[in-house]
Amino acid sequence: MNRLYSSLAASALCASSLFATAATAAPSGASALAGTIGFSGRDLRAPLPGGTHFRPATGTVEGSYNWSGYAQNNGSTTGPFTGVKAKFVVPTVTEPTTGTQYSSDWVGVGGYNESTLVQDGIEADNMNGTPFYQAWTEILPAAEDPLTLTIHPGDTIKASVREIATNTWKMKVKDVTTGQKATRTVSYTSSGASIEVITERPCIEDGCTSTSDLATLAQTTNETYLPAALTTSAPGPTAVYDPALTPLAGQTLYDIEMLNNADTAVIATPSNANAQNNGFTVQDGSTVPPPPA
């Protein structure tokens, strides 16, 4: 999904890198609870609250209007990444009974400040007091594509994206709790320049050219990604994986905090990495959660 972020170094609002987010549609029989919530947008930068942030961090701290988590990026249009995966639990939506709020948890390759993102994961939304949970895949600029996989809060999920042949990507979401899984294989050209493990709030207005187009973040239980791993193995059926929060040579690891639309408060915060650099927790609000054991 689209990334709107606040750079620590930025001192004024600017926009660049127009790219698309996706439409999230409820699967057949779900009474169209989720509706359409994601559209094309552009990169927006602004300073974090106070201009400088001093909390200890595993990587380089960045602010984002819709992401919280970690990303590795080498700053170029070509890169070594051919896969990413993470294990996490479907969070429980803890919203009141009114209004609509949205959240997603996903892994992806490419798309960090550019438009070639291939990703999959789950969403946990509140629709006027009715929680809605769904698994999906997405390749920008195509629309988000729901998977035929029933998930529930508390289920353990494994999400993975892997280049199984040159420009052929396999996206898989498995519900470890139920033993069910869904996959989708697509032909797609990604920069491979980055990987991400992210909690997100998507866009709700066509264009997504400003923070006013973003959804309200659904309040949920904490999300812990453990283990999270990446690979630079050549495209193929097998791969060697490394901890996702250990920076590779030439890469920068970004520790991303989510901001409110007014750029005045942090609304979702990742923990530092665990001792193995393969896990972290995202918590609503500005308090830094402890890393997973």
Decide yes or no: CATH 2.60.120.700 for domain 5-284: yes
pLDDT value for 3: 59
Percent of the chain clearing pLDDT 90 (strictly above): 58
Question: How big is the chain by its Cα radius of gyration, in Å?
Answer: 17
pLDDT value for 187: 97
DSSP 49-73: TTS---S--SSEEEEESSEEEEEEE
pLDDT, averaged across the chain: 82
Cβ–Cβ under 8 Å, residues 6 and 65: yes
- Could you tell me which residue, 243 or 47, shows the higher pLDDT? 243
Cβ–Cβ under 8 Å, residues 286 and 61: no
Is a pLDDT exceeding 60 seen at residue 255?
yes
The residue among 139, 118, 149 whose CA lies nearest residue 22 is 139
Cβ–Cβ under 8 Å, residues 121 and 228: no
pLDDT class for 32, splitting at 50, 70, 90? very low
β-strand partners of 3: none
pLDDT digits (tens, 9 = 90+) for 159-215: 999 999 999 999 999 999 999 999 999 999 999 999 999 999 887 765 566 777 788
Q: How far is CA 205 from CA 27, 178, 198, in A?
A: 20, 35, 21
The residue among 152, 257, 246, 157 whose CA lies nearest residue 195 is 246
Is a pLDDT exceeding 90 seen at residue 19?
no
